[in-house]
Each structure stands twice: as C-alpha cells, then as structure tokens.
C-alpha cells in the first residue's frame, strides 16, 4: 500500500515527500514488519502521526452530511490524531470527582428529527423537536417530563422556501396534525418505577447496579457481554438458523445501543462513562473523527460507525474539553437525521416542578398527566 495515497487524495496541493522521507516514515510505522497488528483501541494512530510529521502541515476537509446539503451538520476531518483527542477527553471525564449528597440525577435532552420537506415545488429542511427531562430519585422513583417543542425550518434559507410554499402548517411526525403525539406547547408528566432503570429487552439494571458497573474498559465489556446470551436467545428467530457472523453483528449493534443508553439515560459514574467510550471505539467498523458537528452546530470529537454507500451512520459526538456527550445521532443516506441532543446531565437537589392538580403520587408502575 502507498502510505501517502490518502494524503495525496485529500491534499493535492501539498508537495509530495521524497523517497527518503517515505522510506523513513514507512520504517517507523511498520517497524520492519509489513503485517504487524495494531490494537483497535491503542490511543494512538501511528500512521497518521508519521504522515503528519513528514508533511509538516495540518489540513482541514469539510465533508457535508445530510445528503450533501451545506446547511446540515458537517464533519471536519483534521490531520491531527483523533484517537488522542478522544483519549484525552475520556481521561478528563474519568478523573472527574463523584457527585455526592444530591437528591436526584437529572438528564435533560432534546430529540430532533431533521427531514427534507417538499411543498408546491419548494424544498426545505425542518426540525421537529421534543424535550425530555428525567429525574431519578434516590429511591425507586423516576419522573419524566416530555414537552412538544414544535417543528420549524432549520435555517433562514429554509424559512424563505417554507414561506414561498405558503407557510404550510408543520406537524412533524404527527402527519395528520391531529396533535395526538406529544402536544406542541404542552408538557406531559410521567411517574414510574425506576427499579428497572436501564432496560434492553431481557436486560434490566437498577440504579445501584448501573453505578456499580466497572470503570475499566475490558472489565465493562466483559460485564455487558455477560448479559448477551439471554438477549441473543430472545432475539433469535426459530424459523431460520442464524450464523455466528450474524450473531456477532447483532451483538455489536446491541453493545452500541447499550452504551448510548448508559451515557444518556442513567447515573453511570464518570469512570464507567469514559470506559463506554473506549468500548464503543473498539467495536468492529468504528472509527474516531475529530471536528464533527451535532445538529445544534456544536463541534466535538466523535465515534462513528457505519456510513458506507447507502448505509446509516451512527455518531456519538463528545465534548473535547469535558468528555461529556454532546449528541447521539443517526444520519440516513437519503437526508434524514435523528439526534438526541444533550442539554444537561448530572446530579442536583432541584426536583421536578409539577403543576398544581397533577397528581404523580402513589406507587403505580406508570402514572402521568398533561399540564
């Protein structure tokens, strides 16, 4: 393989290195052995480091997302070492002191569906948003507050196209505009039992079990995979045999989804959260890219999976400085985007403010009201 073919493709204006520099870099990267295996999570990308040292420059390449639409989220690929950026962010998160003595763990997110809409010959992007805030109490209580935030054009250009189309009513997933989904402008309050805080089909973990999960990546992966056999048995279709290859693919998808849930919806410790990053970055097909934008335009380092021709791409975008997750996104090849945008995660003494007359008392499995 030509070690500089990738560099030549993305940076055609850079002066090609001489034969001596190429031989020097190849020797450093391969160590004299052409087939040396490099661990998936090594914290260092030696080939990229050697190449950067040879060319002595940094290049930035903007790769548009959402079917190439310039108004959508974009990935900026830099010729620095993204694995080191992720490792540093994970280390900072793992060193964060544990919160103690607070009454609630609160997770505040927004679910965003970005889609392309065509009306009367005019096409524009629109975001449908729903806000979620969950309070996990020290006991077995879980209160979830869900608010319909409406659907609106994304950019000023999208708004102009929407106005040219006659400013049609935008109802998002509520296609008949019957307002029978999450009521726009209203809030739903739900009280439930947090005993099974993390639920993935056959897997149920309560808050204490989540807090006790390992903080070492290898130990965490082993613990999570200990739940896989029951999950695979539950998923397996008795009408046809599934190969070991199919099981491995299903298992890796399951691990990714489980990692997302631990990061977004549970009071997992900072050490466990950092270990989740390393577990997900080590999955087959995963890659680390720096400079990825979430749907709100925030930029971070990201773990990506999928995204081949005609394939869904999953993105976990992480704040470089704090190590906190910024967003979990699914980018579809035909231009749709699903995103869970993180607004705030952490411990607090402030509980949910429930409107007068909205009774969430009792020990029912599920109880709620709209206010």
Per-residue pLDDT of the chain (371 residues; tens, 9 = 90+): 433 333 333 333 334 444 444 344 333 333 333 333 333 333 322 233 333 332 233 334 343 343 334 344 555 555 479 999 999 999 999 999 987 788 899 999 999 999 999 988 999 999 999 999 999 886 667 888 888 888 999 999 999 999 999 999 888 766 556 555 565 667 888 877 667 678 777 788 888 899 999 999 999 999 999 999 888 877 766 545 567 777 888 899 999 999 999 999 999 999 999 999 999 999 999 999 999 999 999 999 999 999 988 899 999 999 999 999 999 999 998 878 999 999 999 999 988 887 777 766 554 444 567 66
Q: Is 78 contained in some domain?
A: no
Distance CA 165, CA 215 (A): 53
Judged on CB neighbours under 10 Å (0-12, 13-18, 19+), 224 is buried
Are 87 and 301 within 8 A, CB to CB?
no
Q: Same domain, yes or no, for 176 and 50?
A: no
Are 327 and 106 within 8 A, CB to CB?
no
pTM assigned to the model: 0.75
Q: Is 79 contained in some domain?
A: no
Q: Is 75 contained in some domain?
A: no
Q: Same domain, yes or no, for 187 and 123?
A: yes
> How many structural domains does the chain have?
2
pLDDT (0 to 100) of residue 192:
75
Q: Same domain, yes or no, for 48 and 159?
A: no
Q: Same domain, yes or no, for 107 and 46?
A: no
Query: By residue range, what is the domain housing residue 28?
Result: 5-57
pLDDT (0 to 100) of residue 30:
32
Q: Same domain, yes or no, for 44 and 111?
A: no
Q: Is 73 contained in some domain?
A: no
pLDDT (0 to 100) of residue 24:
43
Q: Same domain, yes or no, for 235 and 351?
A: yes
Distance CA 291, CA 106 (A): 28
Q: Same domain, yes or no, for 243 and 336?
A: yes
Q: Same domain, yes or no, for 309 and 230?
A: yes
Distance CA 18, CA 34 (A): 21
Q: Same domain, yes or no, for 18 and 138?
A: no
Q: Which of 134, 133, 146, 216 is nearest to 181 (CA)?
A: 146
Distance CA 7, CA 240 (A): 46
pLDDT (0 to 100) of residue 313:
96
């Amino acid at each position: 393989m030509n070690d500089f073919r990738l560099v030549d493709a993305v940076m055609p204006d850079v002066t090609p290195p001489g034969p001596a520099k190429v031989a020097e870099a190849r020797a450093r990267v391969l160590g004299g052995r052409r087939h040396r295996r490099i661990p998936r999570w090594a914290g260092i990308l030696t080939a990229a480091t050697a190449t950067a040292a040879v060319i002595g420059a940094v290049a930035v390449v903007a790769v548009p997302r959402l079917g190439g639409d310039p108004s959508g989220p974009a990935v900026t690929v830099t010729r620095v070492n993204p694995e080191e950026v992720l490792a540093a962010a994970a280390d900072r998160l793992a060193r964060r002191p544990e919160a103690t003595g607070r009454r609630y763990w609160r997770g505040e997110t927004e679910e965003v569906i970005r889609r392309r809409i065509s009306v009367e010959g005019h096409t524009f992007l629109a975001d449908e948003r729903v806000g979620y805030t969950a309070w996990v109490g020290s006991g077995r209580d879980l209160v979830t507050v869900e608010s319909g935030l409406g659907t609106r054009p994304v950019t000023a250009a999208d708004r102009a196209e929407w106005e040219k189309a006659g400013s049609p009513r935008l109802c998002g997933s509520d296609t008949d505009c019957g307002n029978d989904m999450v009521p726009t402008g209203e809030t739903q309050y739900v009280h439930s039992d947090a005993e099974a805080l993390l639920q993935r089909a056959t897997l149920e973990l309560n808050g204490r079990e989540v807090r006790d999960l390992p903080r070492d990546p290898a130990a965490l992966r082993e613990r999570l995979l200990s739940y896989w056999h029951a999950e695979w048995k539950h998923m397996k279709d008795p009408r046809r045999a599934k190969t070991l290859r199919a099981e491995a693919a299903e298992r890796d998808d399951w691990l990714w989804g489980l990692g997302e849930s631990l990061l977004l919806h549970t009071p997992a410790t900072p050490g466990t959260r950092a270990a989740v990053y390393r577990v997900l970055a080590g999955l087959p097909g995963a890659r680390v890219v720096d400079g990825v934008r979430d749907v709100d335009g925030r930029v971070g380092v990201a773990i990506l999976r999928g995204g081949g021709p005609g394939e869904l791409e999953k993105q976990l975008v992480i704040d470089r400085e704090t190590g906190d997750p910024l967003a979990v996104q699914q980018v579809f090849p035909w231009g749709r985007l699903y995103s869970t945008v993180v607004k705030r995660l952490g411990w607090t003494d402030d509980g949910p403010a429930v409107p007068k007359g909205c009774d969430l008392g009792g020990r029912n499995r599920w109880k709620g009201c709209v206010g």
